[in-house]
């Protein structure tokens, strides 16, 4: 893949600002820790844990950080771990990795494939690191060992944030990054910046990012259409919520396709669930719709919320029904601070070479956004796609496969970002 000209220009403009000589042969230290990183990653992959159940993972992390001499807090936001590595009087850098797996049964033929089981919403399910968080944890543990090994040569302080429940809490309660912040993860001391990454099916070793919005906000909506139950043979005696709900589904699609300016910003309204009725000859009393909203700016987000309410209530009223609309605001836009990206672009160029590219916006969402709303943040995509196309599958697939050749790139990226940021101050 060729580098984007925009990023080439950025690198040229800022190469002198951040291209610092890393202390104490960091490359050698990274090379030395990689066998452990691979071992950790395979262990976590074989033993994934669901959101807020990352007990084994958290213990391994906490034991490792303590062995490195860090101040360690556990049970932050239930199972989160925060390690603080204090060095010189320079900046405070936060590094974040998420820990949770998904309720997915693995179909990848690996000697360390997951056979784990868990309970999700009352049902026994397979558990898999289908979004690659095993890689994130192993990478950050490796970074911790490299930076701790610098001793007095570390120019500033690093906060290692190992976060639970990025995939969301099963009951919809506050969790993950938001709860970690509420419980003080960014205090004593408060970071100046935060860096993070996520594996993605780009060519292995690629590092991709962009200024401003990288990943979308994510909101959940639920619409209940209330009609009047009656016999299926006499529909005129009631109000059919199934027909009305069907019209609402179609009406919601026109918000994006016919009401919003398609040239301005990507937006999505998806209906993911429709449920109502108990048997073939009864028109039910109500029908529920549920879906997701994805946007990249606050004004569009608010506008779509209003249009969903208006569409559902108007269609229901026209049919003689009513509509109850509940919209739960979820993760915000994952936004990269443009000044921070400009400052650190030469570092990423050094790490990835021609594999440093400008990412397109993605309508998936990430609660790293909470951290990046507190302090300037920079979030990266790390390419883990195999050269074998039969092994390339999207995140959340039971066949998702991460090529381990990307692991040293991830360790070097976070290590170099941390040290170059500190040395530039």
Residue from 183, 290, 358, 404 carrying the catalytic annotation: 404
Q: 168 and 40 in one domain?
A: yes
pLDDT of res. 24: 62
Residues in the chain: 425
Residues 171 and 68 in one domain: yes
* Domain containing residue 347: CATH number: 3.40.630.10
pLDDT at position 13: 33
**178 flagged as catalytic:** no
How many whole angstroms separate alpha carbon 15 and alpha carbon 346?
5
Statement to judge: residues 208 and 115 lie in one domain: yes
Q: How many domains does the chain have?
A: 2
pLDDT value for 217: 98
| CA–CA distance, 335 with 412 (Å, rounded to integer) | 22
Q: Which domain holds residue 315?
A: 217-329
10-residue averages of pLDDT along the chain (425 residues) = 39 39 80 99 99 98 99 98 98 99 98 97 96 99 98 97 96 93 98 99 98 97 99 98 99 97 94 97 99 97 99 99 98 98 98 97 97 99 98 98 99 99 93
329, 358, 376 — which closes off a domain?
Answer: 329
Q: Distance of alpha carbon 334 from its chain centroid, rounded?
A: 9
Does residue 40 sit in the same domain as residue 152? yes
Q: 304 and 239 in one domain? A: yes
176 to each of 4, 94, 322, how far by Cα in Å?
Answer: 33, 16, 35
**Are residues 293 and 161 both part of a single domain?**
no
Tell if the pTM clears 0.75, that is, is over it: yes
CATH number of the CATH domain containing 236: 3.30.70.360
Whether 331 sits among the annotated catalytic residues: the reply is: yes
Given 221, 331, 370, 401, the catalytic residue: 331
How many angstroms separate the Cα of 245 from the Cα of each of 222, 234, 256, 302, 405?
12, 19, 18, 23, 49
* Pairing status of strand 268-275 against strand 117-120: unpaired
Same domain, 85 and 188: yes
| Beta bridge partners of residue 257, listed in sequence order | none
Same domain for 263 and 367: no
Tell whether 380 and 415 lie within a shared domain.
Answer: yes
Q: Which helix (H) or strand (E) holds 56?
A: helix 55-67
Residues 108, 400: contact at Cβ < 8 Å? yes
Is the domain of 159 the same as that of 290?
no
Show which of 329, 347, 372 is a domain's final residue.
329
Q: For strand 230-231 and strand 282-283, is the pairing parallel, antiparallel, or unpaired?
A: antiparallel
pLDDT, position 18: 39
Token pair for 313: 């209530």
Final residue of a domain: which of 329, 357, 380? 329
Residues 204 and 233 both lie in one domain: no
The residues that bridge with 85 in the sheet, in sequence order, are 158
User: Are 224 and 308 in a shared domain?
Assistant: yes
Predicted local distance difference test score (pLDDT) of residue 87: 97
- Residue 367's nearest CA partner among 131, 141, 38, 201 is 131
């Amino acid at each position: 893949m060729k580098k984007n000209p925009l990023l080439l220009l950025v690198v040229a403009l800022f190469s002198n600002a951040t291209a610092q000589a890393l202390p104490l042969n960091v490359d050698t230290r990274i090379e030395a820790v990689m066998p452990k990183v691979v071992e950790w990653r395979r262990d976590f992959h074989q033993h994934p844990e669901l959101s807020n159940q990352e007990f084994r993972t958290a213990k391994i992390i906490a034991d490792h950080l303590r062995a490195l001499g860090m101040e360690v807090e556990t049970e932050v936001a239930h199972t989160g771990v925060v390690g603080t590595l204090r060095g010189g009087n320079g900046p405070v850098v936060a590094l974040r990795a998420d820990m949770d797996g998904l309720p997915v049964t693995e179909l990848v033929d690996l000697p360390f494939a997951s056979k784990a089981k868990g309970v999700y919403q009352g049902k026994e399910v397979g558990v898999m690191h289908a979004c690659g968080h095993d890689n994130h944890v192993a990478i950050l543990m490796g970074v911790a060992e490299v930076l701790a090994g610098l001793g007095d040569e570390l120019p500033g302080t690093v906060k290692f944030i190992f976060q639970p429940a990025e995939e969301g809490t099963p009951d919809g309660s506050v969790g993950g990054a938001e709860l970690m912040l509420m419980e003080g993860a960014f205090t004593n001391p408060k970071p100046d910046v935060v860096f993070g990454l996520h594996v993605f099916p780009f060519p292995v070793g690629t590092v991709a990012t962009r200024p401003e919005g990288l990943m979308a906000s994510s909101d959940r909506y639920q619409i209940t259409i209330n009609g009047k139950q009656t016999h299926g043979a006499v529909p005129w005696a009631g109000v059919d919520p199934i027909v009305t709900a069907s019209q609402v589904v179609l009406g919601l699609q026109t918000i994006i396709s016919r009401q919003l300016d398609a040239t301005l910003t990507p937006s999505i309204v998806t209906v993911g669930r429709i449920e109502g009725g108990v048997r073939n000859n009864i028109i039910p009393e109500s029908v529920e719709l549920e879906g997701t909203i994805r946007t990249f700016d606050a004004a569009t987000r608010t506008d779509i919320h209003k249009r969903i309410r208006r569409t559902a209530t108007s269609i229901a009223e026209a049919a003689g029904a009513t509509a109850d609309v509940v919209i739960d605001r979820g993760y915000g836009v994952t936004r990269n601070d443009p000044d921070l990206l400009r400052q650190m672009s030469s570092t990423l160029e050094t790490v990835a070479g021609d594999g440093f590219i400008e990412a397109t916006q993605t309508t998936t969402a990430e609660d790293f956004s909470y951290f990046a709303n507190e302090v300037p943040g920079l979030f990266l995509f790390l390419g883990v796609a195999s050269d074998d196309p039969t092994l390339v599958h999207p995140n959340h697939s039971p066949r998702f496969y991460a090529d381990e050749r990307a692991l040293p790139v991830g360790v070097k990226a976070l290590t170099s970002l941390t040290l170059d940021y500190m040395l530039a101050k």
